[in-house]
A and B are shown apart, each in its own frame.
Chain A
Amino acid sequence: MSESLPKPIRIFKDTVEAVVHTASSWVDTCAERAVRDGLGWVPEGEVQTAPAHRPNPTTAGHIMKDGRVTPPGRQTVPTSVPVSGAASKFADTEEIGWLESGRRELPYRRDRQWAVPQMWWEMAFGGIGAATYTVSSAARNPTGMAVGWALAAGGKGILLLADLGRPERFPRVFVRPDTSWIARGSWAFGAFAAGGAVSLLPFLPQPVRTGATALANTGAVVLAVYDGLFLNHAKAVQSWLPREVPALFAANAVQAGAALSGALATTQPRWMRCLGLASGAASGTLQALYIRKLGEGNTASRLSARELVEGLQRDRFVVAGGMIGTVVPAVLTICAPNSKRARAVAGAAAAVGLEHLRRAVLQAGIHAPVIDPPRTRPIGEGRTN
């Protein structure tokens, strides 16, 4: 289909896709290379199956859990590493087998339609940019406003355009805002981009800039919660349905916005520190509530909880999203409120945590069948509680 696109649009789409895929797989690729090339460690069984060739994650394709082979350099998850299917707090061995076996007749499968790099980068840029702009405009900090606007309007805008693909689709995304979250988000994004741009033009009269800032802030509030509400309406994926998802995304965005805004300001006002701490506490609490809700849900929900807490997404959801993205900024805010260096580290940590959290929630999405496959083992076998 992309061959029929005009050449400049095709080049733009391909470039954006290559950049986001590289950025997404870079951390995992570096980590695997450090272990394989640095330590010389390989997982059990790999040497026997391929004695003459040690696969390099940067040049060789990975075999995914669903049997697909990713092209070189396009891995998003190092899924060639076997996931222990034995003990889990959330699912029994049979349920884990339904997901991990890769057999087509077992219809539990990880989402691959929305859980793509463009989507989580879009969400990350939109969330942190909109929140940074709003917090900075409240603190009357033009640097923060400019950076927030550039992140949301520039970063998210480029990815949205690349995602849209064909130019003729552009007017259609604004249609039916009464029923579609895509249309609502597009209007909010338009208001934010236009209002934010006008608010940053220093030669305009102050009343015009104040009005534009108000318009941009209205759009920014919608942008900060929009991603979670949008996921909430994807009914096929159980783990995106809880009400905690939009609340978690919003709290996390506000916390990252407060941290980044504080890092970009000459001094961080006390109210901004309090906002960061309160939203960080809310974000951490909502993460815990979200996992509890998933753990009490149906098989697909519990398999998603297992992915987030014990499985492939643990490093992103718990370590990067929870510890680095929430705890580190809070500790730095409390311990070193006046240090510019500490505020810069807090802002960077919150930004990294925000991206990883959205990515983890997206990648832990599991499609469920209408009816579970027949059981061959007793219910609960292999669960640790």
Chain B
Amino acid sequence: MSNEVREVDGETYKKAVSAARLGVILGVVGALSVAVRIVAKAGTALFGQESGQCERGTCNE
């Protein structure tokens, strides 16, 4: 990686950090959504369908 340091004005730096922060937050959302899907699948395997789902014709059978 290049060690060259470029000085930018405070506003530009702040905007770059904000944009990078948004990217990190979106990455966290993506990782969390994968975790939510895994938990949902594990929960369905453990507890079964929600009560009443099959009666309403919306279960995954």
Contact bitstring A155-189, B, C-beta under 8 A = 1, else 0: 00000000000000000000000000000000000
Say yes or no: B8 contacts A143, CB within 8 Å: no
Contact bitstring B13-43, A, C-beta under 8 A = 1, else 0: 1101110111111101111111111011001
A35 and B16 in contact, given A40-B4, A41-B8, A44-B9 (Cβ under 8 angstroms): yes
Task: Identify 19 residue pairs between A and B in the complex whose beta-carbon atoms are under 8 Å apart, listed by A's number.
Answer: A27-B24, A28-B21, A35-B16, A35-B20, A40-B3, A41-B8, A41-B16, A42-B7, A42-B13, A44-B7, A143-B39, A146-B43, A147-B39, A341-B33, A344-B40, A345-B29, A345-B30, A348-B36, A349-B33
Q: Which residue of B lies closest to A48 (CB)?
A: B7
> Which 6 pairs of residues, A with B, have the shortest CB-CB distance?
A143-B43, A348-B32, A31-B20, A31-B21, A142-B47, A348-B33
Contact bitstring A30-55, B, C-beta under 8 A = 1, else 0: 11101101111111111100000010
Say yes or no: B50 contacts A266, CB within 8 Å: yes
**Stretch of A78-86, A93-101, A296-304 at the chain-chain interface:** A78-86
Q: Which residue of A lies closest to B50 (CB)?
A: A141
Complex: A7 Cα to B6 Cα, angstroms: 48
Q: Which residue of A lies closest to B32 (CB)?
A: A348
Q: Distance in Å from the Cβ of A259 to the closest Cβ of chain B?
A: 10
Tell me if A291 counts as interface (CB < 8 A to partner B): no
Complex: A120 Cα to B6 Cα, angstroms: 36
Question: Residues on B close to A: CB < 8 A?
Answer: 1-14, 16-18, 20-26, 28-37, 39-40, 43-44, 46-53, 58-60
Q: In terms of DSSP, what is the predominant structure of the interface of chain B? A: helix
Say yes or no: A27 contacts B25, CB within 8 Å: yes
Say yes or no: B36 contacts A324, CB within 8 Å: no
Contacts of A349 in B (CB 8 A): 29, 33
Q: Distance in Å from the Cβ of B4 to the closest Cβ of chain A?
A: 5
Contacts of B58 in A (CB 8 A): 266-267
Q: Distance in Å from the Cβ of A353 to the closest Cβ of chain B?
A: 9
Q: In terms of DSSP, what is the predominant structure of the interface of chain A? A: helix
Complex: A47 Cα to B13 Cα, angstroms: 14
Say yes or no: A54 contacts B29, CB within 8 Å: no
Tell me if A9 counts as interface (CB < 8 A to partner B): no
Say yes or no: B10 contacts A82, CB within 8 Å: yes
Given contact pairs A143-B39, A344-B33, A352-B32, a sample of 17 additional A-B residue pairs in the complex whose CB atoms are under 8 Å apart:
A31-B21, A41-B5, A41-B13, A42-B8, A43-B13, A84-B10, A140-B52, A141-B50, A142-B47, A146-B47, A267-B59, A315-B22, A344-B34, A345-B33, A348-B30, A348-B35, A348-B36
Complex: A236 Cα to B22 Cα, angstroms: 32
Q: Which residue of B lies closest to A202 (CB)?
A: B47
Contacts of A314 in B (CB 8 A): 18
